[in-house]
């Protein structure tokens, strides 16, 4: 069972913001903060590695080329070293260009064989491969140049995969003679960069702010890729959690409520906006905070010097506005007041910072 104070006082990021998003270049810039010092690099490096290696995407994994001579007879290309008649580029260069095509199939498809026919003369680009539900992201990419006598078909296998799979591995799955395996780079994430800056929480400015920049090929948006990477990281870390997360969440909620009540009770009585007479009476009785006030009963206040019925009535009315009353000694009775009271953020930050500094001193 986890200790009750497992996450108490531990600063966690509250949200992630999109600082820049460009749908044309498939670029996204994201910021998350605050992190405890050092966690920005830890989280940033983890997400970067997952983004580059583990996000699923599509790639052409194998190709079979059939070319036709002047009499219309079909010939299957024997290997990557045989030249295709009528194609300016040699076959090795052509296959290298095929590897660079960024492709996508409908979501429900994991594999598909696509047939494309080419005739010259023609400048073949990525857009010419968009047939039979196959979408090409880099449509303007030049793949090859065909002369007038060029006429051939490409039978391409498109797979859903992850990371990089070399041709040596792909050939183990080839069953049709004449099929040439290709190195397949499935990752739709092309580039990831992160850096860590200092950010302020309360009086402390040494917390981490993580800034992530993600470039994709367009088959997935940068924000979706980042979300998938975070989900993968979470699923891998789950196996190490040997306690009830719901119990920890409950403890954190209780700790948060206790902290809110503490701040409420430490609120200066000036926040009640009492009359000068009533305020002076309380100060003379050494009642400085709301906590000091609500712990007193009507009888105890009435014994205070120069404290009359009018002041007592005013104080009771002001406390009622805060869902408070005199004689409140049970901490659970303060919870209703929390719905009414929202302390200024600056006061909350200062309180949190003071607590953290005290914890550091004790350590």
Find the CATH number of the domain harbouring 197.
3.30.1360.10
Query: Do 139 and 162 touch, CB atoms closer than 8 A?
Result: no
Determine, yes or no, domain membership for 6: no
The single residue listed with the structure tokens 């690099």 is 41
Two structure tokens written together for 186: 């499935």
Q: Among 199, 215, 243, give the residue marking a domain's end.
A: 243
Rg over CA atoms, the chain = 34
| Band of pLDDT at residue 204, cut at 50, 70 and 90 | confident
Q: Give Cα separations from 197 to 37, 178, 210 (angstroms).
A: 10, 54, 7
| Beta-ladder partners of 181 | 62
The single residue listed with the structure tokens 């980042």 is 226
| Band of pLDDT at residue 37, cut at 50, 70 and 90 | very high
What is the mean pLDDT of the segment spanning 142-161? 97
The pLDDT tens digits of the residues spanning 330-340 come to: 555 555 555 54
Residue 244 pLDDT: 60
Same domain, 67 and 211: no
Same domain, 258 and 210: no
Same domain, 218 and 141: no
Same domain, 272 and 353: yes
Q: How far apart are CA 65 and CA 78, in angstroms?
A: 9
Instruction: List the CATH number of the domain containing 334.
Output: 1.10.150.20
Q: How far apart are CA 105 and CA 94, in angstroms?
A: 22
Q: What's the distance, CA 204 to chain centroid?
A: 25
88 CB-near residues (< 8 Å, 6+ apart): 144, 145, 146, 147
Angle at 188 between CA 105 and CA 123, to 5 degrees: 70
Residue 255 pLDDT: 54
141 CB-near residues (< 8 Å, 6+ apart): 97, 100, 101, 125, 126
Residue 128 pLDDT: 98
Same domain, 319 and 349: yes
Residue 175 pLDDT: 86
Determine, yes or no, domain membership for 3: no
Same domain, 127 and 230: no
Determine, yes or no, domain membership for 7: no
Same domain, 74 and 41: no
Domain with 212, as residue range(s), is 15-55+190-243
Query: What is the number of domains present in the chain?
Result: 3
| Band of pLDDT at residue 123, cut at 50, 70 and 90 | very high
Helix, strand or coil for residue 17?
Answer: strand
Same domain, 98 and 110: yes
Q: How far apart are CA 305 and CA 285, in angstroms?
A: 8
Determine, yes or no, domain membership for 230: yes
Q: How far apart are CA 180 and CA 318, in angstroms?
A: 83
Same domain, 46 and 195: yes
Same domain, 60 and 49: no
Determine, yes or no, domain membership for 10: no
Contacts 24+ apart (CB under 8 A), 224-231: 225/51, 225/55, 225/188, 225/189, 226/28, 226/30, 226/47, 226/51, 228/55, 229/47, 229/50, 229/51, 229/54, 229/55, 230/47
Is pLDDT above 90 for 29? yes
| Beta-ladder partners of 28 | 21, 214
């Amino acid at each position: 069972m986890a200790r009750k104070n497992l996450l108490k006082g531990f600063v966690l990021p509250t949200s992630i913001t999109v600082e820049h998003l460009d749908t044309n270049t498939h670029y996204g810039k994201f910021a998350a903060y605050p992190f405890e010092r050092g966690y920005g690099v830890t989280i940033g490096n983890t997400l970067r590695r997952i983004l580059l290696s583990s996000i699923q995407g599509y790639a052409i994994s194998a190709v079979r080329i059939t070319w036709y001579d002047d009499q219309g007879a079909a010939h299957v290309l024997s290997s990557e070293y045989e030249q295709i008649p009528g194609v300016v580029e040699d076959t090795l260069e052509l296959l290298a260009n095929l590897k660079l095509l960024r492709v996508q199939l409908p979501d429900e498809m994991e594999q598909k064989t696509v047939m494309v026919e080419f005739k010259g003369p023609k400048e073949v680009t990525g857009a010419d491969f968009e047939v039979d539900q196959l979408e090409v992201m880099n449509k303007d990419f030049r793949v090859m140049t065909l002369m007038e006598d060029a006429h051939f078909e490409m039978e391409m296998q498109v797979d859903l995969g992850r990371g990089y799979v070399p041709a040596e591995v792909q050939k183990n799955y080839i069953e049709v003679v004449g099929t040439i395996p290709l190195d397949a780079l499935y990752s739709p994430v092309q580039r990831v960069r992160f850096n860590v800056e200092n950010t302020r929480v309360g009086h402390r400015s040494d917390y981490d702010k993580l800034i992530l920049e993600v470039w994709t090929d367009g088959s997935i948006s940068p924000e979706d890729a980042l979300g998938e990477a975070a989900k993968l990281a979470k699923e891998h870390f789950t196996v190490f959690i040997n306690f009830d997360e719901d119990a920890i969440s409950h403890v954190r909620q209780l700790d948060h409520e206790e902290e809110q009540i503490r701040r409420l009770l430490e609120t200066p009585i000036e926040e009640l906006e009492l009359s000068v007479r009533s305020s002076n009476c309380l100060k003379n009785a050494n009642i400085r905070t709301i906590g000091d006030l609500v712990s007193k009963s009507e009888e105890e206040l009435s014994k205070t010097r120069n404290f009359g019925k009018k002041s007592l009535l005013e104080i009771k009315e002001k406390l009622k506005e805060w869902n408070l009353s005199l004689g409140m000694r049970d901490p659970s009775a303060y919870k209703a007041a929390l719905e009414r009271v929202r302390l200024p953020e600056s006061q909350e930050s200062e309180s949190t910072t003071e607590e953290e500094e005290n914890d550091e001193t004790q350590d």
